[in-house]
């Protein structure tokens, strides 16, 4: 990930503009961590300044890191040039200049809430990695809409670039945990779900994406006759998943071993070279599911004084049955404004975010957070923390 090291560095007065970026403010934690809010090419992100004994390390903050790394790279370049920093070490001048334009294929949660209501015949790929399979499918079926879900930003960037290079128009890429996103989709709206070579987590099975709850959700979103195609190279993960599939009612299951697909993903190629067995489980949904209420985003409707939050702040983990909220750190912008860093949601699929406390507003930053059942419960814990501390 892009970063720069420097021995000497004088911070500017904020707000400050340079190049394609506006640096709006710095937020400082109790431990001295500094987050500089940068608005670059229409994207809000934090640059993080770590001071060590010998030098400064300036890099992108993980929670607010944009899906397209070129935007972060540009923000770092602008910050370097604004402050006339002479880096002793940096990787932000890579010769391969990636596109700075936000790809029209990259879709935010806001887009799905406002513009994507009740669409039918969607196809999903969960964890598309290098995107070979997703790109192949979308090219082959230009009249269908493919949603690609991925949390690994370099993979996202690679697929966005390929969509452009190959003129593919029917892929929507979402940088969000697939388990949470599934809960948002309308019932009976999906034709096919592909999940090829998820990380098997054979030594830490609790980290697997696949679980009974996950399969419940995939079945709910699949239309009658719709399929979930699960493919793995791990015998252990195959057996575990097969048992989880068996907990479902009104489905057909089809198991294949060493079946050839029309296209091999990058992972598949590796396993084939190693002559590993490959297992497929296809679940065919056989019943309509009940409709669910539309899921919106989490919002705060009350305001709170930042200075009172700051006075009472303590790091704490609040727990409910299967959900939690961890209030990690507090950052001050000025006496009326600041941020809390939080992680919260279901125990196994949590959100990481900031809560931005402004003069008359409290909002999650940088992303909209889907109001799934567990997120809503965890949000109540956060509200309790903010207003009844």
Ligand X SMILES: C[S@@+](CC[C@H](N)C(=O)[O-])C[C@H]1O[C@@H](n2cnc3c(N)ncnc32)[C@H](O)[C@@H]1O
Task: Report the site for ligand X in 242-301 (rule: CB under 6 A).
Answer: 265-268
Work out how close the CB of 70 gets to ligand X at its nearest, in angstroms, rounded to a whole number: 19
Work out how close the CB of 179 gets to ligand X at its nearest, in angstroms, rounded to a whole number: 5
Work out how close the CB of 335 gets to ligand X at its nearest, in angstroms, rounded to a whole number: 39
Residue with token string 């990481």: 352
Q: Which of 35, 70, 126, 171 binds ligand X (CB under 6 A)?
A: 126
Work out how close the CB of 134 gets to ligand X at its nearest, in angstroms, rounded to a whole number: 8
Position 127 contacts ligand X (CB under 6 A): yes
Q: Which of 6, 55, 130, 286 binds ligand X (CB under 6 A)?
A: 130
CA-based end-to-end distance of the chain: 38
Q: Which is nearer to ligand X, 23 or 176 (CB)?
A: 176
Helix ranges (DSSP H) in 141-176: 153-165
| Cα–Cα distance, 348 to 332 (Å, whole number) | 30
Work out how close the CB of 246 gets to ligand X at its nearest, in angstroms, rounded to a whole number: 23
Residues 6 or more apart whose CB falls under 8 angstroms from that of 269 comprise: none
The number of residues that bind ligand X (CB under 6 A) is 22
Of 122-130, 184-192, 220-228, 373-381, the segment contacting ligand X by CB under 6 A is 122-130
| Cα–Cα distance, 349 to 62 (Å, whole number) | 17
Q: Which of 2, 60, 129, 338 binds ligand X (CB under 6 A)?
A: 129
Task: Report the site for ligand X in 184-213 (rule: CB under 6 A).
Answer: 196-199, 209
Number of neighbouring beta carbons within 10 Å of residue 206: 8
Answer for the pair 142, 167: CB distance below 8 angstroms, yes or no: no
Considering Cα of 372, then 378, then 383, then 386, what sign does the dihedral take?
Answer: negative
Q: What is the CA radius of gyration of the chain?
A: 23
Task: Report the site for ligand X in 34-93 (rule: CB under 6 A).
Answer: none
Position 149 contacts ligand X (CB under 6 A): yes
Answer for the pair 88, 72: CB distance below 8 angstroms, yes or no: no
Q: Which of 49, 92, 106, 178 binds ligand X (CB under 6 A)?
A: 178
Work out how close the CB of 92 gets to ligand X at its nearest, in angstroms, rounded to a whole number: 24
DSSP 48-109: EEEE-SS-EEEEE-STT--SSHHHHHHHHHHHHHHTT---SEE-TT-SS----SPPTTB--H
Position 151 contacts ligand X (CB under 6 A): yes
Position 345 contacts ligand X (CB under 6 A): no
Residues that bind ligand X in the complex, under the rule CB under 6 A: 126-130, 149-152, 155, 177-179, 196-199, 209, 265-268
């Amino acid at each position: 990930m892009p970063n720069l090291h420097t021995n000497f560095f004088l911070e500017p007065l904020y707000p400050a503009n340079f190049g394609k970026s506006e640096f709006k403010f710095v937020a400082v934690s109790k431990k001295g961590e500094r987050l500089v809010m940068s608005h670059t090419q229409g994207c809000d992100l934090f640059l993080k300044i770590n001071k060590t004994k010998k030098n400064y390390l300036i890099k992108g903050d993980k929670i607010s890191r944009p899906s397209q790394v070129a935007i972060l790279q540009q923000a770092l370049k602008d910050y370097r040039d604004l402050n006339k920093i002479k880096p002793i070490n940096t990787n932000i001048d890579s010769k391969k200049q990636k596109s700075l334009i936000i790809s029209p294929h990259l879709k935010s949660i806001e887009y799905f809430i406002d513009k994507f209501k009740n669409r039918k015949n969607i196809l999903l790929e969960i964890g598309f990695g290098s995107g070979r399979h997703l790109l192949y499918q979308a090219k082959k079926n230009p009249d269908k809409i493919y949603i690609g879900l991925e949390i690994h930003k370099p993979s996202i960037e690679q697929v966005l670039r390929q969509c452009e290079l190959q003129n593919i128009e029917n892929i929507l890429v979402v940088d969000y945990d697939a388990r949470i996103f599934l809960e948002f989709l309308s019932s009976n709206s999906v034709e096919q779900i592909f999940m090829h070579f998820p990380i098997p987590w054979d030594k830490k099975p609790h980290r697997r994406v696949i679980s009974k709850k996950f399969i419940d959700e995939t079945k709910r979103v699949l239309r009658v006759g719709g399929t979930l195609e699960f493919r793995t190279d791990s015998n252990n993960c195959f057996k575990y998943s097969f048992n989880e599939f068996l907990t479902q009612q009104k489905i057909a299951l089809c198991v294949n071993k060493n079946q050839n697909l029309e296209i091999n993903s990058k992972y598949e190629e590796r396993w084939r070279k190693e002559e590993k067995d490959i297992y497929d489980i296809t679940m065919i949904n056989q019943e309509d599911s009940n409709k669910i209420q539309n899921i919106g985003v989490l919002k705060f409707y009350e305001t709170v004084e930042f200075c009172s939050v700051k006075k009472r702040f303590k790091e704490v983990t609040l727990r409910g049955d299967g959900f939690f909220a961890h209030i990690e750190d507090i950052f001050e912008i000025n006496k009326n404004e600041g941020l809390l860093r939080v992680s919260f949601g279901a125990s196994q699929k949590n959100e990481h975010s900031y809560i931005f406390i402004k003069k008359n507003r409290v909002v999650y930053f940088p992303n909209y957070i889907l109001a799934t059942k567990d997120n809503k419960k965890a949000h109540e814990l956060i509200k309790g923390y903010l207003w009844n501390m």
